[in-house]
Structure 1
Amino acid sequence: MTSVELTGRLLCADRDEAETVVRHLPRHIELTRAEPGCLRFDVVQTEDPLIWTVAERFADEAAFEAHQARVRASEWGRVTAGITRDYAIARSEG
């Protein structure tokens, strides 16, 4: 089985975007961690209040794709659509 790992950063342009993340992130984390196949989901604010590190790991491609679809249809997806993401996705057998 091939797991999927996403790592990177969420980059807010200003304090308004950062406040949106702060307000909506806890529910997004809760919903994501409850998804079938979610092995890891961490979004942590850095010393820079406009930047969060993101680390996700899903058991397989289907779980990752289901997560992506849920996010696109979610409130989180809607309210953070304009926030810059700098992500890398890796797939590994294991």
Structure 2
Amino acid sequence: MLAKVILQGFIIVPDSDLEVVQSELVTHKTLTLEEAGCLIFTVNPDDVNPNKFNVYEEFVDQTAFNNHQTRVKSSKWGEVTKNVERHYQISNGV
């Protein structure tokens, strides 16, 4: 059995990009959850910091995760989050 890939952490969105990132987030979540191999995908606003979004993703395997990363780079989400600070840990779950 292949190990699933888990990404967890958070992003920090600059004030100047906050509105566009929030508006694009709904589409980003929908498209990601429709991807083959996506098990869980959540991006939620932090309770304290309005510029912080907590991220948790699970994909069935490395290939599904890589396909997601490739799609995101060329998506509208990739464009609107180019100035975002990303703080992620990636691990393999069993």
Q: Same fold (TM over 0.5)?
A: yes
SS of residue paired to 1:56 = strand
Residues in 2 aligned to 1:82 and 1:52: alpha-carbon distance in whole angstroms: 14
1:39 aligned residue: 39
What is the CA-CA distance between 1:91 and the residue it aligns to? 1.2
Residues in 2 aligned to 1:57 and 1:28: alpha-carbon distance in whole angstroms: 15
1:91 aligned residue: 92
Amino acid at match of 1:31: L
Compute the TM-score of the two structures, normalised by the length of structure 1: 0.93
SS of residue paired to 1:9 = strand
Residues in 2 aligned to 1:8 and 1:58: alpha-carbon distance in whole angstroms: 15
1:81 aligned residue: 82
User: Mind listing any 5+ residue stretches in structure 2 that lack a counterpart?
Assistant: none
Compute the TM-score of the two structures, normalised by the length of structure 2: 0.93
> Cα RMSD (Å) of the superposition?
0.9
Residues in 1 aligned to 2:40 and 2:18: alpha-carbon distance in whole angstroms: 23
Equivalenced residues, count: 92
User: Mind listing any 5+ residue stretches in structure 1 that lack a counterpart?
Assistant: none
Residues in 2 aligned to 1:17 and 1:8: alpha-carbon distance in whole angstroms: 19
Q: Does 1:3 align with 2:4?
A: yes
Q: Structure 1, residues 37-70: CA drift from partner, whole Å, max 9, x if none?
A: 0000000001211100000000000000000000
SS of residue paired to 1:30 = helix
2:13 aligned residue: 12
Q: Structure 1, residues 9-57: CA drift from partner, whole Å, max 9, x if none?
A: 010122x221121110000000000000000000000121110000000
SS of residue paired to 1:89 = strand
